[in-house]
Chain A
């Protein structure tokens, strides 16, 4: 009888170990494949030419060029601009929801924000293409409505729910006694939010922001549909650009198997992977380092 119970326990233990290992294995295999398919491009072009080269003509027969600096700059530009739009919106919504909103209001707003997260990216992209782009062209007199600004706006829609819900969790987990102490000392509600609640949940909010940014930099469908796709450095926020995921998605389908073009696209994938990896490591680091373990650590 005892043995049976123990055997069952062990069985369960190993079963869950296997399921946990499965995702690690999958990640490992994908990473290995990514590097195996991408790295051979550096026999054809140097790493510096690849990362800093300005011209992307992978299929030109006479003189192919594999420079992705315009693509990297485009990815960074859409990410930064979308963060500028999404961070204030997301964080302020989180503060409103967790501190200010009445119970009823919260019951309405919170599901709506979460619903925004469930919108498929292709729907957001389509909205940008059919509604926002003509609006920019007709009302703002911009030559191309599919541009950096449009893409950033659409990406902001997508990262607001992430930023908002992670920030809200962080704000919610601020110990109650901190807030009560502040109010007891005579601080107003606003002073309490500004000087106690927000600083206490800053690490959680930072994590939220970085997770939101890493979602924006890796997002493919939206930038493929609304960023415009011109492989050059933007000279205004209304310039069309081509971020890395858009380039990979647009070209991979028709790139000859294991050609240099195919390898260059995989190498672009490696660069993208490194970016999201760095974002995630930073997020991890911040949330570990500034972990709020009790009221005393503030």
Chain B
């Protein structure tokens, strides 16, 4: 009898072990969501050691592409999915399901040595479309404004162009930087530069500028007074199932994932 129990136990283990080891969740996408997602994954894996998770930040477009191709389980995106992409997902038989997980504020940043502390949305638009080219026109020194923008395909750029520029084109003289980190690095090194970055990236090396007199932070973003804010998404292939569904629940849980969102400079969608 004892022997039988032992054999059963070994058999159950032998069957269960590979099944447990196979649970792997792959996450890819936006570099804006990345720092938040990494914290969530760390916390989730501490609670569920049997689950293996890999997170990489290839950009919103790459994350969505990976969801369409089925090479990732969960995509992070800082922009809405395009109609074309939603259609393509349907064609492939696995409708993509985007879900807003956080609200992010985009903050204009300047060098700490720059005296300008507030700009109106119109002034920002003027600067980014090349109509305002000197700091003295907006209350600063008599120096040329060095305009820094993100590459045209980044989710951050898209949000900025929608929220600030009304889809007008950024003038060609703007310097394009390929990542949120690079943008901050350039502004911290150039006294006459202006750029924009997600609130989570802003630190002491740069100075945040308020918009229309309102400072961009999680509070003003979530109560709607700050004009330059956007949703951050995760996307699944069809409705999430099994372990993935549990992780998505964790992300949306006000006491767990949403708390981590709040701790990392964005605003939770559920409180």
Binary per-residue interface labels of chain A (124-167) against chain B in the complex, 1 for a CB within 8 Å, 0 otherwise: 00000110011001000001111000000000000000000000
Cβ contacts under 8 Å, A134 to chain B:
189
Contact A58 B189 (CB under 8 A): no
Q: Across the two chains, which residue of chain A brings its CB closest to B155?
A: A254
Cβ contacts under 8 Å, A242 to chain B:
176
Contact A251 B167 (CB under 8 A): no
Determine if A259 is an interface residue (Cβ-Cβ < 8 Å): yes
Binary per-residue interface labels of chain A (58-93) against chain B in the complex, 1 for a CB within 8 Å, 0 otherwise: 111110000000100000000000000000000000
Binary per-residue interface labels of chain B (163-187) against chain A in the complex, 1 for a CB within 8 Å, 0 otherwise: 0000101001111111000100110
Residues A60 and B175 in contact in the complex (CB < 8 Å), given A253-B58, A254-B60, A254-B61: no
Contact B152 A57 (CB under 8 A): yes
Contact B152 A58 (CB under 8 A): yes
Cβ contacts under 8 Å, A57 to chain B:
152, 169
20 pairs, A vs B, C-beta closer than 8 Å: A54-B172, A58-B153, A59-B158, A60-B167, A62-B167, A130-B185, A130-B189, A133-B190, A143-B143, A228-B175, A232-B173, A250-B177, A250-B178, A253-B153, A254-B154, A256-B85, A257-B61, A257-B65, A257-B68, A261-B152
Q: Across the two chains, which residue of chain A brings its CB closest to B85?
A: A256
* Interface hub of A61, A62, A257 (most chain B Cβ within 10 A): A257
Contact B151 A251 (CB under 8 A): yes
Contact B172 A251 (CB under 8 A): no
Determine if B123 is an interface residue (Cβ-Cβ < 8 Å): no
Contact B64 A256 (CB under 8 A): yes
Number of B residues with CB within 8 Å of any CB on chain A: 39
User: Which of B60, B151, B174 is close to A250, meaning CB atoms less than 8 Å apart?
Assistant: B151
Cβ contacts under 8 Å, B153 to chain A:
58-59, 251, 253-256, 261
By a beta-carbon cutoff of 8 Å, the part of chain A in contact with chain B is: 54-62, 70, 129-130, 133-134, 137, 143-146, 224-225, 228-232, 240, 242, 249-251, 253-257, 259, 261
Q: Please provide the chain B residues from 115 to 166 with a CB less than 8 Å away from any CB of chain A in the complex.
A: 143-144, 146, 151-155, 157-158
Contact B61 A229 (CB under 8 A): no
Contact A229 B175 (CB under 8 A): yes
- Rounded to whole Å, the gap between the CB of B59 and the closest CB of chain A is 4
Contact B172 A230 (CB under 8 A): yes
- Rounded to whole Å, the gap between the CB of A148 and the closest CB of chain B is 12
Determine if B91 is an interface residue (Cβ-Cβ < 8 Å): no
A232 to B58 CA separation, bound complex (whole angstroms): 27
By a beta-carbon cutoff of 8 Å, the part of chain B in contact with chain A is: 58-62, 64-65, 68, 82, 84-85, 88, 143-144, 146, 151-155, 157-158, 167, 169, 172-178, 182, 185-186, 189-193
Q: Across the two chains, which residue of chain B brings its CB closest to A134?
A: B189
A208 to B59 CA separation, bound complex (whole angstroms): 38
Q: Across the two chains, which residue of chain B brings its CB closest to A70?
A: B172
Residues A251 and B174 in contact in the complex (CB < 8 Å), given A61-B167, A130-B189, A137-B191: no
Q: Across the two chains, which residue of chain A brings its CB closest to B154?
A: A254
Contact B61 A56 (CB under 8 A): no
- Rounded to whole Å, the gap between the CB of B190 and the closest CB of chain A is 6
Cβ contacts under 8 Å, B158 to chain A:
59
A231 to B177 CA separation, bound complex (whole angstroms): 12
Residues A225 and B182 in contact in the complex (CB < 8 Å), given A56-B172, A254-B60: yes
Q: Across the two chains, which residue of chain A brings its CB closest to B62?
A: A253
Residues A230 and B176 in contact in the complex (CB < 8 Å), given A129-B185, A144-B190: yes
- Rounded to whole Å, the gap between the CB of B257 and the closest CB of chain A is 24
- Rounded to whole Å, the gap between the CB of B74 and the closest CB of chain A is 17
Contact A256 B186 (CB under 8 A): no
Cβ contacts under 8 Å, B189 to chain A:
129-130, 133-134, 137, 145
Residues A254 and B59 in contact in the complex (CB < 8 Å), given A59-B158, A143-B143: yes
- Rounded to whole Å, the gap between the CB of B96 and the closest CB of chain A is 13
- Rounded to whole Å, the gap between the CB of A102 and the closest CB of chain B is 43
- Rounded to whole Å, the gap between the CB of B104 and the closest CB of chain A is 16
User: Which of B58, B84, B174, B193 is close to A259, meaning CB atoms less than 8 Å apart?
Assistant: B84
Q: A133-B189, A254-B155 are in contact. List 17 more A-B contacts (CB 8 A).
A: A55-B169, A58-B152, A129-B185, A129-B189, A145-B189, A229-B177, A230-B172, A231-B176, A240-B173, A250-B151, A251-B151, A253-B62, A254-B60, A254-B151, A255-B153, A257-B61, A257-B85
Contact B175 A146 (CB under 8 A): yes
* Interface hub of B60, B175, B177 (most chain A Cβ within 10 A): B175
A59 to B60 CA separation, bound complex (whole angstroms): 14
Contact A137 B167 (CB under 8 A): no
Contact B172 A55 (CB under 8 A): yes
A264 to B191 CA separation, bound complex (whole angstroms): 35
Cβ contacts under 8 Å, B65 to chain A:
256-257
Cβ contacts under 8 Å, B193 to chain A:
144
* Interface hub of B60, B85, B178, B185 (most chain A Cβ within 10 A): B178
